[in-house]
Chains A and B, each alone.
Chain A
Amino acid sequence: MLAGENTMTAGPAEIASSDFGRVLVQRERRFATLLLAPAFFALLLTTTFPLLFLVYTSVYRINLSMPFMNGFVGLENYKVLLADDRFWHSLIVSLVYTISTVLLQIVIGLALALFVMNMKRGQGWFRIIAILPVVLSPAVVGMIWRTFMLAPEFGIVDYLAITAGLGSKNWLGDPSLAMVSVIVIHTWQWTPFAFMVLLASLASLPEDIYEAARIDRASAWQRFRRITLPLLRPAIVMVIIMRTMVALTAFAAIFTVTGGGPGTATEILNLYAYRKSFTELSIGYGSALAVALLIVTIIISAILFAIRRSK
């Protein structure tokens, strides 16, 4: 069909039309540049330039409270960083926080999506309620949990714990409980996201494969294991990638709830970089921590994208 059209336009007319075509292409290019340039420069200004400047400040000693000590230090900040126990601790907290929240979101989100998918009535309720946590500011979510849910005695969770005979717990003051609390809060807010995405892709799976499986008398587990899971794989991997990136740079929901505390129990790397820079005003070292976070992010996303591409 296409080849036929080409031979139709061959001949003297071709030269003229290709000239005209070239002018059109050129105009199109110019128009594209005009349309793209403002957004492109805005992004250069707000993302690329800060990134370069960050790398630059990371090789300086910049302390806003002691400006007379400032100066070029080369890789000193990075050397300090590698020997900094608090850095390694925050990296571990980051990984624990990220892996546990992402796993919980996927497992609970997928289980709920499978349940809700088979519900004959009431799906609408889930769809509406699932939206609520996702659209809220993590800062507001953090505040609500810190007070109305987890505060000693007055918080509902603590009240339930007392009623259940467990006694009042210091949900945010005890180091390991505080870690559990911030993980639960993040999971509470973002599981609906996994749920909604997985429910949408479940709904788009072809019906006839299941029919065939039923005729072959495949058990429910076999159907899930052999059909649903492989078909959902792209959606699951996508959710994992997106949620991992967010969890690694989570800030508000930890900052408002524990501030990284007690001590450094819930201090993820992101929060450590913030505290160093804006609480201790050590901008140079904070920059080095932020660069380290960027490198960790790149490594993890490279791994995840490799997983996505395989198979």
Chain B
Amino acid sequence: MADPEVFSSMGNKQERYDALVTVYSADLFRYALWLCRKREVAEDLVQETFLRAWKSLHSLRDDKAAKTWLFTILRRENARMYERYSPGFDDDYDFDSVAVEQEDEQVMQLRECMKMLADEYREPLMLQVVNGYSSKEIAGILDLTPGTVNTRVFRARKQLMSLMSQDDSFGQLEVVS
């Protein structure tokens, strides 16, 4: 991931925007996919997020906050999508179109377990594992305290390990109390 300082040196709005897209679009897509479950919707959500970011890029004064800022926009956009109408999606996640061929069976099983986690546990875990965010950064994005974030990722891992220990292929994993 690029050094946030790279943004500071860019006076040009277009360059700044392009840099944000390059650095954060993949992270945002992965997050969006777990959030809204559908590939097409996730991509639209990311595009909408960047459109909003473009329109208010002037308000991003501290480029070190860009990451949190973008994720916050994405979460708000996602919430806005459902504020007036809540569609009855089928529950399954749309991973077929993005899954790689010959994926490890254990990885697929773990992904199934991830689907069973409550959103409040899955979201911070995903931000930590995939995006490498600290508890403080996750707290900023999810509007929680770092302590709450730690508790939720702790419980998320415990639940995952518990779910997997019910599966023979993960029988070797120890569930910690």
Chain A partners chain B:
no
- Contact residues of B with A, CB < 8 Å? none
